[in-house]
Structure 1
Amino acid sequence: MDKPRAANPPYRLPPRLFDARCRACWFAAAVLALVVASFWSLDLQWRQFFSWEALRSMGRFASEFFPPDLSPAFARRVALAAWETLAMSVVGTGLAALAGLALALPGSRLHPGDRAWARGLTRWLLNALRSIPELVWAALLLISAGLGPLAGTLALAMHTTGVLGRLFAEAIENAPAGPGDALRVQGMGNDRVFLYATLPQVLPQLLSYTLYRWENNIRAAAILGVVGAGGLGQLLAFHMGLFQIDKTATVLAAMLLMVAAVDAASHGIRRALTR
């Protein structure tokens, strides 16, 4: 005899929008309450911001950006400042990548049996480096390095070391353990295991992290000049302080073009690395 066919399983209704037993629902509700409380506690003058008087003032201010100053002498100054900003971001990111990798090794557990005695201290150092913004690092380093691009480059390197070091350490710890275990069984030490097993696996990821931070650092380097760290930011602060809006427009346009070019180059390199 033919076996009776199993009855079709009943359709499940979609889950309710809020369930008292759902932890994620309570977390989302708490975040929403925090956002509402933040708006309520801040004295945000929305009516004044969108008033006709404010709109007219903003329109009048925006009209002063046109036409920008494109005189050859000033364009040459802007080009030199843009090159200085680009150099600051490249050198700062390169130094941070080297220092971050050097700190990521003691800050990560290379295999499950690794004691990693310096892991906690190194992680604390990386947290301290990245918890201080680039502008604060630049203001602190101006005392010792003086005005100019050196303070900005070191500020980028200090903050980015903390960011890349933590990302590199996580990538190293999450690398597949099979190739390393195979070398370790043959009596290889941690240094050779890292060079011949772990590093080849995580190198594309490390390069991708570095390129992404370079994109961020080109923006940060363009602003660091506000505190006297050179580059386009220093030109921007100078001409804005003198209310020379046409020259300010030229500097802002150079910032936008440079950031767009760096983003496109970084995106292209990352795509080439992942092929």
Structure 2
Amino acid sequence: MPASPDNFNPVKLLAAAAILMLVISSFVSLNIEWRSLFADDAASKTWEFLQGFAPPDLAGAVLKKTALASFETLAMSALGTLIAAALGLLMALPASGRFGQITKSLTRLFLNMARAVPELVWASIMLIAAGLGPFAGTLALAAHTAGVLGRLFAETLENTPPQAENTLRLNGADATSAFLYSTLMQSLPQMLSYTLYRWENNIRAAAILGVVGAGGLGQMLKYHLSLFQMQTAATVIIAMLVMVALVDALSFALRRWLMR
């Protein structure tokens, strides 16, 4: 059924036009060479490069080193996510407006700044402060993820129905007890789901952070690629894929169990 003139919204029309112009200008400004991408020469060179990765190096020493680096990457992501969840929960309280509008605005500004800085930039800063190794990578993941989880946790607290907390307050419970036993308990499954999802992302991010010297599989991958040891690099890449797939499956199962 066609929309009537009374339902015409010029703001929506202008927004749609702006989005369309942004898409068109993006294609024009990027100057994408589709012909070069799908040329026969590009395909043959890519195939020749990929052949250098086969077969992966399955020597015992390489597998042992890869396993240790995988554990290091997993530990970085898990500890970084745990620290971020704790910091995010602490900052979510003022960010949800429980201590006034000014505190809410300032806390949200800080959270926006924390998550606006990419993990690689945080890693570069932490490498200067903490030196090379997985500790810097863990701090980088925690800094960025705290901004993300803090905002998500704050919105979860804001969207939680207040009736249960108000009922406890009316029956004589203090503010802290009412919050802990009502609002927080209602929000906890959603918060845990967000935390698990961010852990999945941090597994991938931890593997990349090693490229700047933060340890784990990323550092091992950069080392072997710089020496053109492609078969050993293939082993590291396979380890990344396997670890990410396992963590994704585990996180998905836990989220489904929590949301029952």
TM-score by length of 2: 0.94
Aligned 8 A contact 1:108 1:116 in 2: no
Structure 2 counterpart of 1:178: 163
1:47 to 30, 35, 39: 35
**Matches of 2:199 and 2:97, distance apart in 1:** 27
Give the secondary structure class of the aligned counterpart of 2:53: coil
Q: Which amino acid aligns with 1:58?
A: T
Query: Are 1:258 and 2:246 matched, yes or no?
Result: no
1:162 to 122, 142, 147: 147
Unaligned runs of 5+ in 1: 1-12
Query: Are 1:242 and 2:227 matched, yes or no?
Result: yes
**Matches of 2:186 and 2:214, distance apart in 1:** 38
Shift of 1:167: 0.5
Query: Are 1:65 and 2:65 matched, yes or no?
Result: no
Q: Which amino acid aligns with 2:33?
A: Q
1:103 to 78, 87, 91: 91
1:232 to 199, 213, 217: 217
Q: How does 1:15-34 map to 2 (within 5 A)?
A: 15=3, 21=9, 23-34=11-22
Give the secondary structure class of the aligned counterpart of 2:160: coil
**Matches of 1:123 and 1:160, distance apart in 2:** 14
Shift of 1:115: 3.2
Unaligned runs of 5+ in 2: none
Aligned 8 A contact 2:118 2:144 in 1: yes
Q: Which amino acid aligns with 1:96?
A: A
Q: Which has the higher helix share?
A: 2
Give the secondary structure class of the aligned counterpart of 1:118: helix
Identity, % of aligned positions: 55
Aligned 8 A contact 2:73 2:215 in 1: yes
Q: Once structures 1 and 2 are overlaid, which stretch shifts more, 187-196 or 123-132? A: 187-196
Q: How does 1:62-141 map to 2 (within 5 A)?
A: 62-110=50-98, 115-141=100-126
Give the secondary structure class of the aligned counterpart of 2:94: coil
**Matches of 2:125 and 2:163, distance apart in 1:** 45
Aligned 8 A contact 2:94 2:100 in 1: no
**Matches of 1:186 and 1:120, distance apart in 2:** 32
Q: Which amino acid aligns with 1:107?
A: A
TM-score by length of 1: 0.89
Shift of 1:24: 3.3
